[in-house]
Amino acid sequence: MGGAVSAGEDNDELIDNLKEAQYIRTELVEQAFRAIDRADYYLEEFKDNAYKDLAWKHGNIHLSAPCIYSEVMEALDLQPGLSFLNLGSGTGYLSSMVGLILGPFGVNHGVELHSDVIEYARQKLDFFIKTSDSFDKFEFCEPSFVTGNCLEISPDCTQYDRVYCGAGVQKEHEDYMKNLLKVGGILVMPLEEKLTKITRTGPSAWETKKILAVSFAPLIQPNHTDSGRSRLVHLPPVAVRSLQDLARIAIRGTIKRLLHQEAMSKAGPGLKNPPRFKRRRVRRRRMETIVFLDKEVFASRLSSPSDDNNNSEDLEEERREEEESKPSELKPDPPVNFLREKVLSLPLPDPLKYYLLYYREK
C-alpha cells in the first residue's frame, strides 16, 4: 500500500513530498515526521527503500506507507496530554511520533502480537532517546509496549482519548474497538477496506468518516488455550510521575524558555521567530509509467502541458541547486545542542547533569 508521492532522497524530502500532496496538513504532524527519521526503523540492508512511499515488511516487522501514517496522524487530531492506544504497535515508529506531540503528561501505550517485534521496538526507542538530535527539541511521552492479541484486552482496562488499529478490522469487531474510547475520543482504523475515523460524541453516539481506500492484512483472531480461555492482555498502568521526574521536566522546560529568550534578544526587535525546521524546495518531477504486458515492457512518459514551457526553467533551477550544493572547502560546523551545552555548564554534580540529559550519548 502506498506509492502516492514521489520517493525522497532523505527524510526531509519525503516529508516535503507528503506536504505537497496534502497528506501532511498541520504543523504539529510535520514537526513529528521531521523529528524521527523513518530509515532508523528499517533493517540496515533495506534502508535504501526507507524514503519511498511504500509499505515494508520483513518477517514480523512491518511499516505502513508514509502516506498512510500521515493520514492517520492527521485524523487522530493529537494534542498534548491526551492518552493514546496503538493496536498493532509494530516497530514503534508511529508511537514515537505520537509521543512527541502528547508531551510529558500524556499516555502512550501499544499492544503488539509478536514478542520479537516488541523487542525490536524497544531497541529502536532506546536508540532514539539516546542518540537523536530531535529528542531535546521536544518533551517526549515515552511509549510502553505489551505483548498480546489486541482483541483480548482485559475488559476492565481504562479507556483512551485516541486509538489506532494498524490491521484490518472485521465488522463484528467494530463495537469492541469503539468501547476502548472515552467520550469525545477518536478511533482510526481500517474498516471494510476504508481507513475510517470514528468520533465518540456521547455514551452511545458516534460520528463516522471514511478517509481513503486502503488494503490492510486482517486482525489475527485470538488463539484460545487448551482450557478454552483466552489470554487477557493487561495494558500498562497509568502511573503518576515521580517528584524527581516532574522536577527534571520543569528544569528542562525552564532552560528551554531561557534559551529562547536569549535567542530572541540577540535577534533584535522586529524580527520574526526563525523557523523551527528548515524547509526544502520541492522540485517538479516528471511521472514515468512502466507497463508490463506479457513478457514485454513498455515505458511511457506523462507530462502536463506546462512541463514543456517550464522545462528550461527547471533545468536552470536544478543547475543552480547543484552549484549551491557543492561542498565548500570548509565543512560547516555540526549543529549545536544548546540545551545540552547549558545543562553541562551548570554548577551541578555530574550525576545530576546526566539525569537532566536522560543519560543521552550526545
| Residues designated catalytic | 64
Residue type, 57: K
340 grid coordinates: 545540552
Compute the CA torsion angle 189, 191, 195, 201 (nearest 10 deg): -60
End-to-end Cα, the chain, rounded Å: 36
Compute the CA torsion angle 199, 200, 205, 210 (nearest 10 deg): 20
CA distance 267 to 350: 32
343 grid coordinates: 545543562
Q: Are 102 and 81 in contact (CB under 8 A)?
A: yes
